[in-house]
Amino acid sequence: MTLAATSPVQYVPRIGPSFAKKLEHLGILTVRDLLYHTPFRYNDFSHTTSIARLHPGMMVSVNGEVKQIKNIFTKTGRKIQEAVVTDDTGSITVIWFNQLFLPKIIHAGDQIALSGSVGFFGNKLAIESPEYELIVADKIHLHTGRVVPIYSETAGISSKWLRSRIYFLLTEYPNLIHEYLPDNIRNIYKLPKLEDAIQTVHFPKTVQEGEASEKRLTFDELVLMQCTSFEQKRIWEETKRASAFTIPESIQNTFIQALPFALTNDQHRAIQDVTNDLKKTIPMNRLLEGDVGSGKTVVAGAAMFTTAKNGYQSILMAPTQILAEQHYQTISSLLTPLGLTVELILGGTKQDLTKQNKTDIMIGTHALLQNTVLFSHVGLIVIDEQQRFGVYQRALLRSKAPSDLTPHLLTMTATPIPRTLALTMYGNLSLSILKEMPIGRLPIKTWVVPKEKRDAAYEWIRKEITAQNAQAFIVCPFIEESESMTSVKAATKEFEHLKKQVYQDLTLELLHGRMKQAEKTKLLNDFRSGKTNILVSTPVVEVGIDIPNATVMMIEGAERFGLSQLHQLRGRVGRGDKQSYCLLFTESMESTTIDRLKILETVHNGPELAEHDMRIRGQGDLFGNRQHGIPEMVFSALGDDRIIQNSKEVAQKLITSDPTFISFPHLRERLNESKIQDIAQD
Ligand code: ADP
Ligand code: MG
């Protein structure tokens, strides 16, 4: 049958529906996905030697004849397969575990190829759990005697299985993947041919060759991401129209002069960026990135004010009810004195539709998306912490606008996206960054507290609370990503302990995501008003809350968090002008762990910490999940400025030679099926 790169993987001979189901766990849906499932490392078994030369610690391949093979069942219940293999120079014991079927497929007299490491079994020299292949005339070896690819695996899908299926695919269907880069471009950047790279990334002659091929594929992913951005930008600019606002300087000044503080330079610049966008008929599509506490809300406020002055409504969507309420308070206090009307829309509240049509600013959660909520003339949409909303929800929100016009869009995020990633991935968005913190904001003094200083630290916190009238957050260790009962139980236990054994004299409350909304709001209000001294919480609870009197943040099990996560958590304090503190508790004694955490003592900049995270732990922490669809290998390349720069140049060359990529059919195909989740396109 014919097979294309886009064919579902189940149509590959020897795969079928049931393996296809398992492959889904690896994100492999199509034939192309399988070919691009590149090894994360190689075992170099290319060194074949004779049995007499084996010694412990070697990683080798040997070829020989099976003299005997049998199952051994030990008294302790272990199931061992033991074989003896000989060549001209000697004999060696070979051991496997729990593979009872082996004596059925390997027999005395068989010629066998083995690859693995040499060690001791009991007091005998042995090859333990090696890869094996029977030697048959004309059969190519995939698992032994060569550089062998090791893949990420899943239940029922081993590296061995992947190797054989990928090999089959590459040999039986050699024309699935085609080069899309013109030769001259390939030559300038010294890139191997794509067909060859795909082949050798799986089955290289040397490890170096494999790594060079992987680099070519990474390069492609980067080019693809940037072409996707260009493409989205082109479509946006060609197809979307907004109403252009008129913005006399007096409008801006009215807003700025009414603020209770002076704007930072970055805030000024961001407001200017936004204002320039709003004057155009191409709708704004801007990402405002700034650390927690950098003052993003005011920038949104300025845009909303302008929008209202032009006779249009604004919508602000926040990811949680608490954040929506907080925005409502902030925005109302800024803009109602200037004559604007602001309304909060939450789930479960009965809405007065007639009134809404006249409201200047609507703030809310997902409830904004309900059918019953109608808007008549939306000119601006602001989305806070966009990564928590799906593409679908954003599209739905958009559909609330008058049908012929696209509202201007401002997305705000405190997720510290490293600059290189932002530029690569979000090239279609305009970017404003708030680097500077408002004046008077002191860096949060941060200490890593070792095990033996725990009691002293508890005492210190008590003093801060009693003598300085401070308040503290205590965040429990990260247990699971979602607010499962396990996390809640752990937090509850910690809370009981603190209340009964440590701070009997203070008022403690527990906050977690499984609580009812009303209960959460009450707890936070009690904390805000100073009634509660210490708020104990799970890690997933509202990062953006703004309680200026809370100055102590204590985090348990700090080693379980990424630096960016810790930075976000500590951003809950240090929001007023008082000195704030962050105490990181860890039970770990490992110096690498302590050193990693200590980075927070000196670095107070979110994106810089994110770069550290990427170097140390990979991207997992940054985004929390894999929804973003960015291939793993792209992350490992982000530290490599050359490859980023080159891929950008190539993307630019491609788009200049053919803005719609029609003459690059395979690139076109990949753009169409691109999985890269766009953060602001619908
Ligand atoms: P975030 O960027 O985390 O959303 P917010 O917009 O919530 O930050 O601002 C955090 C706090 O800083 C708020 O209390 C806000 O009123 C205050 N703030 C914002 N800009 C300034 C400024 N230029 N000077 C002083 N305080 C500011
Ligand atoms: Mg905010």
Mutate to test the pocket of ligand 1, among 263, 546, 547, 580 (most ligand atoms within 8 A of CB): 546
Q: Is 448 exposed, middle or buried (0-12, 13-18, 19+ CB in 10 A)?
A: buried
Report how far apart, in Å, the C-alpha atoms of 678 and of each of 128, 392, 565, 629 are.
Answer: 48, 11, 23, 10
- Whole-angstrom Cα distance, residue 563 to residue 593? 11
> Which band of pLDDT confidence, cut at 50, 70 and 90, is reported for residue 682?
very low
3-state secondary structure of 165: helix
Is 284 within a domain? no
- Whole-angstrom Cα distance, residue 10 to residue 14? 9
Query: What CATH number corresponds to the domain at position 17?
Result: 1.10.150
Q: Which domain-ending residue is among 603, 622, 655?
A: 603
Computed over every residue of the chain, the mean pLDDT equals: 85
| Strand duo 408-413 + 378-384: pairing | parallel
Is 591 within a domain? yes
Same domain, 97 and 166: no
- Contact indicator for 315, 362 with CB cutoff of 8 Å: yes
CA of 575 to the centre of ligand 1 (A): 8
Atom of ligand 1 nearest to the CA of 384: 4
SS3 sequence, 163-229? HHHHHHHHHHCCCCCCCCCCHHHHHHCCCCCHHHHHHHHHCCCCHHHHHHHHHHHHHHHHHHHHHHH
338 Cβ contact partners less than 8 Å away, ≥ 6 residues apart:
254, 255, 258, 305
Same domain, 11 and 52: no
Tell me, using a 6 A CB cutoff, whether residue 298 lines ligand 1.
yes
Same domain, 381 and 359: yes
Tell me, using a 6 A CB cutoff, whether residue 148 lines ligand 1.
no
Tell me, using a 6 A CB cutoff, whether residue 296 lines ligand 1.
yes
Query: 593: closest CA among 617, 618, 571, 569?
Result: 617
Query: 384: closest CA among 370, 365, 400, 367?
Result: 365
Q: What is the pTM of this model?
A: 0.71
* Ligand lying closest to the C-alpha of residue 436: 1
Question: What are the structure tokens assigned to 157, written together?
Answer: 């899908």
3-state secondary structure of 371: coil
Tell me, using a 6 A CB cutoff, whether residue 327 lines ligand 1.
no
Question: What are the structure tokens assigned to 72, written together?
Answer: 């051994």
Report how far apart, in Å, the C-alpha atoms of 172 and of each of 13, 34, 178 are.
Answer: 10, 14, 15
Tell me, using a 6 A CB cutoff, whether residue 420 lines ligand 1.
no
Is 303 within a domain? yes
Same domain, 22 and 69: no
Atom 22 of ligand 1: nearest residue by CA position? 438
Whether pLDDT at 576 is above 80: no
Tell me, using a 6 A CB cutoff, whether residue 270 lines ligand 1.
no
pLDDT in tens, 532-545: 999 999 886 665 67
530 Cβ contact partners less than 8 Å away, ≥ 6 residues apart:
471, 549
- Whole-angstrom Cα distance, residue 372 to residue 350? 9
- Whole-angstrom Cα distance, residue 655 to residue 427? 13
What's the pLDDT at 438?
86
- Whole-angstrom Cα distance, residue 476 to residue 654? 50
Buried b (16+ CB within 10 A) or exposed e, 293-307: bbbbbbbbbbbbbbb
pLDDT in tens, 464-481: 999 888 999 999 887 666
Question: What are the structure tokens assigned to 668, written together?
Answer: 């076109």
Atom 19 of ligand 1: nearest residue by CA position? 295
Q: Where are the alpha helices (DSSP H) in 498-584?
A: 517-528, 563-570
Same domain, 257 and 404: yes
Atom of ligand 1 nearest to the CA of 548: 14
CA of 442 to the centre of ligand 2 (A): 18
Same domain, 128 and 154: no
Atom of ligand 1 nearest to the CA of 326: 7
Whether pLDDT at 46 is above 50: yes
Tell me, using a 6 A CB cutoff, whether residue 261 lines ligand 1.
yes
- Contact indicator for 428, 229 with CB cutoff of 8 Å: yes
With left for phi above 0 and alpha for psi between -120 and 50, is residue 420 left, alpha or beta? alpha
Q: Considering only residues 490 and 209, tell me which one the structure prediction assigns the higher pLDDT.
A: 209
Same domain, 140 and 156: no
Q: Any idea which of 152-156, 168-172, 395-399, 518-522 has the lowest mean pLDDT? A: 395-399
Is 609 within a domain? no
Question: What are the structure tokens assigned to 112, written together?
Answer: 């066998």
The owner of tokens 């084996």 is 54
What's the pLDDT at 264?
94
What's the pLDDT at 617?
54
The CB density around residue 240, as the number of other CB atoms within 10 Å, is 17
3-state secondary structure of 434: strand
Whether pLDDT at 578 is above 90: no
Whether pLDDT at 353 is above 60: no
Is 235 within a domain? no
3-state secondary structure of 330: helix
Region 289-304: mean pLDDT is: 91
H and E: helices and strands count for the chain: 24, 20
Secondary structure letter of residue 494 according to DSSP: H
Is 502 within a domain? yes
CA 137 from centre of chain: 48
- Contact indicator for 200, 242 with CB cutoff of 8 Å: no
* Ligand lying closest to the C-alpha of residue 383: 2
Question: What are the structure tokens assigned to 132, written together?
Answer: 């094996």
3-state secondary structure of 456: helix
Q: Which domain-ending residue is among 363, 391, 413?
A: 413
Whether pLDDT at 585 is above 80: yes
pLDDT in tens, 390-401: 555 556 666 666
What's the pLDDT at 406?
84
Whether pLDDT at 282 is above 80: yes
Is 234 within a domain? no
Query: What CATH number corresponds to the domain at position 69?
Result: 2.40.50.140
Mutate to test the pocket of ligand 1, among 267, 298, 323, 433 (most ligand atoms within 8 A of CB): 298
Among the ranges 173-187, 338-352, 468-482, 604-618, which has the highest mean pLDDT value? 173-187
Helix-strand-coil split of the chain, %, nearest 5: 40, 20, 40
Atom 20 of ligand 1: nearest residue by CA position? 295
> Which band of pLDDT confidence, cut at 50, 70 and 90, is reported for residue 625?
very low
Tell me, using a 6 A CB cutoff, whether residue 323 lines ligand 1.
no
CA of 63 to the centre of ligand 1 (A): 70
- Whole-angstrom Cα distance, residue 125 to residue 93? 7
CA of 244 to the centre of ligand 2 (A): 27
Report how far apart, in Å, the C-alpha atoms of 633 and of each of 160, 202, 203, 614 are.
Answer: 22, 15, 18, 12
Region 308-335: mean pLDDT is: 90
Atom of ligand 1 nearest to the CA of 292: 3
Tell me, using a 6 A CB cutoff, whether residue 209 lines ligand 1.
no
Same domain, 29 and 160: yes
Whether pLDDT at 627 is above 50: no
Question: What are the structure tokens assigned to 115, written together?
Answer: 């690859």
- Whole-angstrom Cα distance, residue 430 to residue 658? 23
- Whole-angstrom Cα distance, residue 583 to residue 396? 42
Question: What are the structure tokens assigned to 415, written together?
Answer: 């997720």
pLDDT in tens, 555-571: 999 998 888 888 888 98
Atom 9 of ligand 1: nearest residue by CA position? 295
Query: What CATH number corresponds to the domain at position 463?
Result: 3.40.50.300
Is 154 within a domain? yes
- Contact indicator for 492, 571 with CB cutoff of 8 Å: no
> Which band of pLDDT confidence, cut at 50, 70 and 90, is reported for residue 487?
confident
CA of 343 to the centre of ligand 1 (A): 21
- Whole-angstrom Cα distance, residue 97 to residue 19? 25
CA of 597 to the centre of ligand 1 (A): 27
Tell me, using a 6 A CB cutoff, whether residue 290 lines ligand 1.
yes
Same domain, 468 and 373: no
- Whole-angstrom Cα distance, residue 475 to residue 473? 6
> Which band of pLDDT confidence, cut at 50, 70 and 90, is reported for residue 387?
low
Mutate to test the pocket of ligand 1, among 294, 385, 434, 549 (most ligand atoms within 8 A of CB): 294
Q: Quick one: what percent of the chain has pLDDT higher than 70?
A: 87
With left for phi above 0 and alpha for psi between -120 and 50, is residue 385 left, alpha or beta? left
Atom 17 of ligand 1: nearest residue by CA position? 295
Tell me, using a 6 A CB cutoff, whether residue 292 lines ligand 1.
yes
Question: What are the structure tokens assigned to 375, written together?
Answer: 């808007």
The CB density around residue 403, as the number of other CB atoms within 10 Å, is 6
CA of 297 to the centre of ligand 2 (A): 6
CA of 494 to the centre of ligand 1 (A): 32
Atom 13 of ligand 1: nearest residue by CA position? 295
- Could you tell me the residue range of the domain that residue 394 belongs to? 249-279+295-413
Tally the domains of the chain.
Answer: 4
CA of 438 to the centre of ligand 2 (A): 14
Atom of ligand 1 nearest to the CA of 290: 2
- Contact indicator for 340, 360 with CB cutoff of 8 Å: yes
CA of 324 to the centre of ligand 2 (A): 10
Tell me, using a 6 A CB cutoff, whether residue 81 lines ligand 1.
no
- Whole-angstrom Cα distance, residue 474 to residue 301? 32
pLDDT in tens, 198-245: 999 999 999 999 999 999 998 988 898 888 888 888 888 888 888 899
CA of 631 to the centre of ligand 2 (A): 29
Q: Where are the beta strands (DSSP E) in 88-185?
A: 90-97, 111-121, 124-134, 147-150
Tell me, using a 6 A CB cutoff, whether residue 382 lines ligand 1.
no
Same domain, 167 and 27: yes
Tell me, using a 6 A CB cutoff, whether residue 293 lines ligand 1.
yes
3-state secondary structure of 412: strand
> Which band of pLDDT confidence, cut at 50, 70 and 90, is reported for residue 371?
low
Tell me, using a 6 A CB cutoff, whether residue 432 lines ligand 1.
no
CA of 230 to the centre of ligand 2 (A): 29
Q: Is 14 exposed, middle or buried (0-12, 13-18, 19+ CB in 10 A)?
A: exposed
Atom 4 of ligand 1: nearest residue by CA position? 296
What's the pLDDT at 398?
61
The CB density around residue 200, as the number of other CB atoms within 10 Å, is 20
Tell me, using a 6 A CB cutoff, whether residue 294 lines ligand 1.
yes
Atom of ligand 1 nearest to the CA of 296: 2
Question: What are the structure tokens assigned to 676, written together?
Answer: 């890269």
What's the pLDDT at 679?
40
Same domain, 384 and 368: yes
- Whole-angstrom Cα distance, residue 398 to residue 108? 71
Same domain, 363 and 376: yes
- Whole-angstrom Cα distance, residue 326 to residue 417? 24
Tell me, using a 6 A CB cutoff, whether residue 577 lines ligand 1.
no
Q: What angle do CA 292, 296, 298 make, to 5 degrees?
A: 135
Q: Which domain-ending residue is among 135, 159, 176?
A: 176
